[in-house]
Every structure is written in C-alpha cells, then in structure tokens.
Structure 1
Amino acid sequence: MENSNSEQTVQDGKLYRHLNSLIVAHLRHNNLIQAASSVASATMTPLNVEAPPNRLLELLSKGLAAEKDDVSRGTSSSPFHDLGGSLPLPRPSATVIDFSSLPDLKGPSKSFPKHETRHLSEHKNVARCARFSPDGRFVATGSADTSIKLFEVSKIKQMLLPDAKDGPVRSVVKTYYDHIQPVNDLDFHPQGTILVSGAKDQSIKFFDISKANAKRSYRVIQDTHNVRSVSFHPSGNFLLAGTDHAIPHLYDINTFQCYLSANVPDVNPNGAINQVRYSCTGSMYVTASKDGAIRLWDGITANCVRSITAAHGTVEATSAIFTKDQRFVLSCGKDSTIKLWEVGSGRLVKQYLGAMHTQLRCQAIFNETEEFILSIDELNNEIVIWDAMTTEKVAKWPSNHVGAPRWLEHSPVESAFISCGTDRSIRFWKETT
C-alpha cells in the first residue's frame, strides 16, 4: 500500500511539473513575460522551458471535448461540464505556420487554387464590410446604405452548382435596417447567434440572427464617436470598438460599461482607429490607426504594450490581424505595402509588395490555412495573392467589380471568400473542384 502511495506521489509530482512547464511556456509564447517569470520563479520551472505554441490550449481543448462526450453519455460529475461550450479554443488539428522558422526562404512558392465567383447581391450604396461567422455557416455584409445583409453559406454553394443560372443568387437570409448612417464593421459572437455592427452614427447594435422576423437590433450601445471597427473577445463577454477616438473602447456586454486604457503614452490624439482585432485567445488585441501606427494591447490589463510607430510611414494603417499562433501580426497600409510583424520584438519579418492601395480602407487577409495572403490592387482592379512564406506574388485576378473592391473577408473554415465593392455589389469566391 505504501509503495502504491509513493508511486502515486511521484506520478503527481511529474504531472505538476509538466503542467507548470506548459503554463510558463504558454505565458511566454503569448508575450506575457512578467507573468511567465513569476510563475517560473514560484514553481522552480525554467523560464526557457520548451513546448510547442498553444500546446496547453490544445490539451485543454481535447480534455473539454472528451468531457463533453462524457456528459452526453451521462458519465461526468464535473460541475464545470458547461465550460467547453464557452471557450472557443483553437482546433488541435489546425495548421499553424511558423513564419520565423525560415525567414530567408527563397524556394518555390505554392500555387493558389483557382476560384469561381458569383454575384450574390447588391446593396443600394457602397458595400463597405463583411464578416463570416466563426463556424463559417453565415456571412454578413454592411453598406453605406445603412443596411446589413445576412447570407447562409450553404445556400450560396447551391447557387454555384454547374446547372445554376447566372445572375444574383437568392441566398439572403434577411436584411437588417436599424442604423441611420453607413455601417463600418461587423462581427459575430463566438458561440451564440448574435451579430454586432458598428456604424458612423456612433452606435453599436446587436442583432439576434435566430429570430426569423426580426429586422432591427435588440440592444444598442451608444458610443461617443464614429464606430469604425468592432471585435468580440473569444469568451463573448467583452467587445472592442475602434472609433475616431485614438484609444480602443472596451465594453462589458453584460453591463455595457466602457473601459479605457490608462497606459497609452504615445497615442496620437488624431490617430483614429481603422481596425481593432482580438487574438484567438483574447490575451492580446491589435489596432491599426490613421496615424500609421500598429499598437499591441494586453488583453487583461488593456495596457498598450508595444507601439510600432510609422508602421506604414506617414499614411494610414488600414488593417491588422493576428496569426493563429498569436506570434505575428499582418498589417496593411495606404503606402501600398502589406507587412508581417513579430509580436514579441516588434520587428518586421516579411513584406508583400506589388499591389497599389492608397485610397480605400484596404484589407490584407490570410486564407484559412495561412499559406496565402490576399489583398486588392486598386489601380488594376484586381485581387492579388501572395505566398505567405516566400512573399512571392502567385496570382492576380480581375475582381469582376466595377471599380476596385473595398473589402475582402475569407472564410475561417474553407477555401472561400467575399469581396465587397464600391459598385454596391457583393461577390462570393469559392475554390473550383
């Protein structure tokens, strides 16, 4: 009996040491160095312990999935069995590219698969923004005509079948009319059936897409500025708003209380925020500003932890998004450059050239595997694609819009994307089989 207890103690000790190592590595990979150092010191764990990025999240995701299976069979007694439904953790099988592993790669680039495109619908004015739901089932578009259109992706695909007739497809689930000025950005709640919009009328509106007949919002946040960008925290409990104000507005969506960071030493008072986006775990968020800067913020303290000033020279930074592993940020600016930055050091890792964008609030986006980057060439009215690793331009396609597209948004789960045009039209692009 004593041997059994002793062996169990040894096994428990190994498990605790492994867990502590994963915690330290997780904090370090997410650039929470002070927290990692504190945990390492308190648990006598080496600060430079090796572990794959997001390994702790992968194990937690698998554990929650297994626990969910147990609950469905009635075998779990855990009081936390609902937790898995509220944690949008990365899928363990998701591909993650380490852009720092081969910084000088000059080998052959990959070929971007051919896509077919269809005209989905038209707004009554410029189509300004789009967003897919996290599961890829829905996509929504917002317009200068103040409306929001919601599409069901499965119905769009039916219209792409070989025997489908050309012309606008009838895949609009519903259209919402509740803003009084142009819609700037959209986002879906991570778990629920909620769509949120930000608009020039200084409001943020919440729509329940599960309500068949609802055409107006059920909740409204009245901000003090033009709301240029919105992004849900992965928990769904908080919402970021990038506005004409230089500091991001953080809202608790249960109380609607607004929080502002007190640590913003170098923010330009005239640096309105073009885009704000959370990382996949919510440990950080990034802003792209009109003053040309990319700023990284701590997702817990809301402190600005790094400013990449003049990231796009003296012109606007128009978009910024995290990679899946949260180690890099992809930004786009009106200097006609797309840049990949290392979060931990702020250094420029890669640059993607060859597409002109100087006028519109242009987006640079990854495809669903992060192997390619897509953006817009305003001068030639083309969609341009680069190999994300080699930085080589591998494709350029006519946009089929009258005038350059204003916005691109890629599905998070499949090889498909949306383009929104100044010609009011919305087009769906899908890989050909």
Structure 2
Amino acid sequence: MTSRKPITSDILRAFLPLKTFHYHDANSPITSLDFDDSGQFLLSCGTDESLQLYDVSKGKHVKSVLSKKYGCHMARFTHHEKNCLYVTTRSAEEHAIRYLSLHDKSYLRYFKGHTEFVTSLEVLPSSDTFISCAQDKTLRLWDLRLPSCQGLMKTTNPKMLVAFDNEGLLFVVGNPETNQLGLYDLKAYENAKPFSLFQLALPANPETGSITYAWNKIEFTTDGLKIIVGTEEGVIFVVDAFEGHLLAVLNGTREFSSRKYPGCGSVTTTPDAKYVYAGSGDFTIGLYDISKLEGVKQPVDLLPVHKLASDASTGLARSLVFNPRMYVLASADKEVSLWTPNEAVFE
C-alpha cells in the first residue's frame, strides 16, 4: 500500500501481518532484510546460504539465489535495479563483498580486502559508494565501479558498526566496547579523527549491572536529528545527533533467546522520523513515539505506546525494517512476514 497519507500513530497501531513467506530452509535463521529504493522489492538473506527476493506490491516471492560456495550475510540493495551487495561467510581467509545482479544471478564485481568477518555494511543513500567494517579492525570505503577500496581507516574494536546520514554527507561509527559514537565527514574521514566524538552515558543494565551492551544496529532518523542504537539486550537508545547526549531509553521489549548467528538488528524507524518499531522476544513489536524529544535535557524512559501482536506462524521480529515508500513493515526470524495497516484505519 503506497503511503499517500501522512504517517500517524493510528495507522502504525493498525498494522497486521498480511503474508508470511517460508522460502528459507526450515530452522535456518534469517540474518538480514532490506528494501530497495522504490520500496517494491524486499531482499532476505539467511544461514541456509540463500538470498530470497520478494515483490512487495504484488505480495509474492520472485526468486531464490543460492550462495552455497561462498555463504551469505548482510545483503543490501544498491541503487541499481535488482542489484545487491552481500558478505561472504564460508572462507576462513577471504571475506569478500560480492556484487550480484539479481536479474540474471551473475556477479558484477568482487570487493576484496577484509581478512575477517564483516560486521557492518551500508550503502550511501545517494551514490555508488558503500562502507564496511570488519573484525579485522578496519573500515573501508568502496566505489561500486572499482574493485579496490578507495579509503581505509583502522578501528579499535572488532565489532564496530556504521551508518550514513540521509543526506550522504557524513557517517557515524559506533563502538560498543567504549559506548562511543564518532561522526565523520565523508570527504575527509581518512585522517581517522571524527569531527565529533560522543561518549554515551548509558544506564546500567538492570539484569547484569553492566553499562556495556551488545550493539547490533545504529541508524540515523531520516531528518538527521537523532541516532538510534539497538542492542541484543532489547534496550534501545535514542541519541541527539548534534550534541551527542542521550535523549531516551526505550524499554518494554524482551530479549531474544541467544543464537549462534549474528543479525542486523530488530529496530527500525519510520520515514517521518517520529516513530520507532522494535521487535521483542515475546512475539510482539513495540511502537515508540520519539517525536517530542527535542530539547530534553535528561534522558527519559519510554515504553511502547502500542504493541503489535504476532504468533508462532508469523515468527519473531529478530530482523525488522520499515518500507521507505509504502505502509509496509517487514519482519523475519526463520520466515519473512509483511505487515500492513488494517484498511479500516483509512476510512
């Protein structure tokens, strides 16, 4: 359903699971989801070493692409129709990023350089540039048209995460070991010094007493004003993107049971930058209103204003992403589910 009306809390509360796909092998975790720029296509990637393409507007599966020889993780659409990047997982020596045409299942290019598992992969919103972080403690900048990395920066933590702002002018690098966020100018990042370094004063985890969390996702809101930090513990942090102070702690979701395979986060923001959805280990998806946090001097605790109900047939929302063009939410664990609002909300 195309977004012709402004996003409202009533619409977001009315989301229901419309269709569930079972194209990945049973009991094989799905580790990433991504919509293309148009919002028409959705791509899932799983530990069964397959990529699955779906046509969202038609509500149907389009094709499977196997990567048994290389393994696959963290599939990301580029800005070229039905082309994607994904990380290889099977080689102990080479952790190349592969550039694939989903149209004819041919490889367009291989990006080699990382020597250990890639932990973060993001495509610049407005160009053929993409960036990657890996456990080899390097951050690499790439151009889709060239096989060699165009820039390299050494990092201090093997589990760094990266995200671009919506304008494509800067990126943020997150260090979960030190609770730091570094902002870098895309044109001048190789001096290895961020133009802003935020030290987050995170609250202690009530379960462990630790202020260190296992981050699994960072992203800017589309207006560039906030940075969202998702964690394996189910706690989500909202950070002021200019001053770097903690605006809110989103509570009320349950931690997922542990599993061997990494995911790409169970939190997603809406295109209007006002709401956050977060998956929970109790088969719900929490909806949070973050629209009134500007000017907050002390971090506030927020609970969901609503919870979407799932079940075993729909699956957990270990991966979660909101469509950039339509009123569609995609969730995944061992299956992929599409959520749309109840039609009555538009009457």
What range is the shorter-chain TM-score in? 0.5 to 0.7
Q: Runs of 5+ in structure 2 lacking a partner? A: 20-55, 205-209, 259-263, 293-301
In 2, Cα distance between the equivalents of 1:241 and 1:389? 38
Letter in 1 for 2:89: A
Q: What's 2:96 paired with? A: 147
Q: Which of the numbers 138, 155, 166 marks the counterpart of 1:223?
A: 155
Q: What's 1:101 paired with? A: 10
Q: What's 1:132 paired with? A: 77
**After superposition, what is the alpha-carbon deviation per residue over 1:355-407, rounded to whole angstroms, capped at 9, x for unaligned?**
4449xxx31122343422222243xxx222222458xxxxxxxxxxxxxxxxx
**After superposition, what is the alpha-carbon deviation per residue over 1:3-38, rounded to whole angstroms, capped at 9, x for unaligned?**
xxxxxxxxxxxxxxxxxxxxxxxxxxxxxxxxxxxx
Number of residues paired by the alignment? 276
In 2, Cα distance between the equivalents of 1:223 and 1:107? 42
Q: Which of the numbers 124, 130, 137 marks the counterpart of 1:202?
A: 137
In 2, Cα distance between the equivalents of 1:112 and 1:235? 27
In 2, Cα distance between the equivalents of 1:108 and 1:338? 11
Q: What's 2:236 paired with? A: 294
TM-score, length of structure 2 as denominator length: 0.68
Do structure 1's residue 233 and structure 2's residue 174 form an aligned pair? Answer: no
In 2, Cα distance between the equivalents of 1:179 and 1:235? 27
* Structure 1 residue matching 2:211: 3-state secondary structure: coil
TM-score, length of structure 1 as denominator length: 0.55
Letter in 2 for 1:326: A
Q: 1:228 deviation in Å? A: 4.9
Q: 1:123 deviation in Å? A: 5.8
Q: What's 1:257 paired with? A: 193
Say whether the 8 Å CA contact 1:275–1:288 is kept in structure 2: yes
Do structure 1's residue 371 and structure 2's residue 327 form an aligned pair? Answer: yes
Q: 1:102 deviation in Å? A: 5.0
> CA, structure 1 residues 107+284, in 2 after alignment: closer, same or farther (shift >3 Å)?
closer
* Structure 2 residue matching 1:101: 3-state secondary structure: helix
Identity level (%): 16
Do structure 1's residue 327 and structure 2's residue 289 form an aligned pair? Answer: no
Q: 1:333 deviation in Å? A: 4.1
Q: 1:220 deviation in Å? A: 1.4
Say whether the 8 Å CA contact 2:17–2:340 is kept in structure 1: no
In 1, Cα distance between the equivalents of 2:59 and 2:10? 28
Do structure 1's residue 191 and structure 2's residue 147 form an aligned pair? Answer: no
Larger CA deviation: 255-264 vs 320-329: 255-264
Q: Which of the numbers 273, 276, 281 marks the counterpart of 2:223?
A: 281
> CA, structure 1 residues 251+117, in 2 after alignment: closer, same or farther (shift >3 Å)?
same
Matches within 5 A, 1:84-99: 95=4, 97-99=6-8
**After superposition, what is the alpha-carbon deviation per residue over 1:158-214, rounded to whole angstroms, capped at 9, x for unaligned?**
x4xxxxxxxxx22x2111121111122211123332111122222211111122xx2
In 2, Cα distance between the equivalents of 1:96 and 1:225? 43
Larger relative strand fraction: 2
**After superposition, what is the alpha-carbon deviation per residue over 1:67-99, rounded to whole angstroms, capped at 9, x for unaligned?**
xxxxxxxxxxxxxxxxxxxxxxxxxx9646524
Q: 1:124 deviation in Å? A: 3.8
Q: What's 2:35 paired with? A: none
Q: Please identify the structure whose Cα radius of gyration is greater.
A: 1
> CA, structure 1 residues 196+123, in 2 after alignment: closer, same or farther (shift >3 Å)?
farther
Larger relative helix fraction: 1
